Amino acid sequence: MKYLIILFSAFLLVACKKEKETVSASADTLSVAKDSASVKPSSGNILVGTIPFPKEIKECSCYFGVSKADFENERYIYADDAGKTAYMMLDGKRLALNLISSSDMEVDELLTKEIENDDYKISVKGKKIKGEEALLFEGTLTIEKPDGTTFTTPIYGECGC
């Protein structure tokens, strides 16, 4: 009987110790995930995130996703008010950027937009693929940083009022 109590106690001790190790291992995993989420982008990267349609835009606008599917699912990487301000999520920050130049979408088959601030130079180029009430465009969006880092992605979206 004495050996049975010792064996049972050893089993409980090992079982409790093993459970404790599992808990600390999962706590370590959570710590790693939390730490990696807070990593700042290096100067060699440009992180482009999706944005909801900006509440600031009240009338005419252009807005684009990286694909037709993203556009249809409202996962936009770029939106502007067709003249003054562009909105993007760059390197984890939602930015409102001043448009420097923009083509006249009603006249041109080609869409061009230039945006620039101290941290980014952004170029939007597209070709009209369909024109009804809203004009559909496919093209590219290019972002450059002063350090020479460049990011280019395809875009799909529309401009209209």
153 within domain boundaries:
yes
d(CA 111, CA 137): 8
22-32: average pLDDT: 32
The C-alpha angle with vertex 91 and arms to 77 and 93, in degrees rounded to 5, equals 75
CA distances from 3 to 6, 9, 10, 17 (A): 5, 10, 10, 21
d(CA 22, CA 35): 20
Per-residue confidence at 9, pLDDT binned at 50, 70, 90? Answer: low
CB atoms within 10 A of CB 5: 9
Any idea which of 35-39, 112-116, 122-126 has the lowest mean pLDDT?
35-39
Any idea which of 9-18, 26-35, 80-89, 94-103 has the lowest mean pLDDT?
26-35
d(CA 25, CA 19): 10
pLDDT at 32 over 60: no
**Could you tell me the pTM of the whole model?**
0.70
Per the CB < 8 A criterion, the answer to whether 103 and 83 are in contact is: no
57 within domain boundaries:
yes
Residue with tokens 């597209």: 126
Q: Are residues 142 and 67 in the same domain?
A: yes
Q: Are residues 31 and 65 in the same domain?
A: no
CA distances from 119 to 35, 90, 115, 123, 154 (A): 26, 10, 11, 14, 21
At residue 127, the pLDDT reads 94
Q: Are residues 25 and 66 in the same domain?
A: no
95 within domain boundaries:
yes
42 within domain boundaries:
no
Q: Are residues 83 and 19 in the same domain?
A: no
At residue 101, the pLDDT reads 87
CA distances from 74 to 7, 9, 37, 63 (A): 62, 60, 24, 9
Q: Are residues 55 and 28 in the same domain?
A: no
The count of structural domains within the chain is 2
Q: Are residues 109 and 87 in the same domain?
A: yes
Q: Are residues 19 and 80 in the same domain?
A: no
Range of the domain at 32: 1-36
Per residue in 63-101, pLDDT tens? 999 999 999 999 999 999 987 899 999 999 999 999 998
Any idea which of 45-49, 107-111, 133-137, 154-158 has the lowest mean pLDDT?
107-111
pLDDT at 60 over 60: yes
Give the mean pLDDT of the chain. Answer: 78
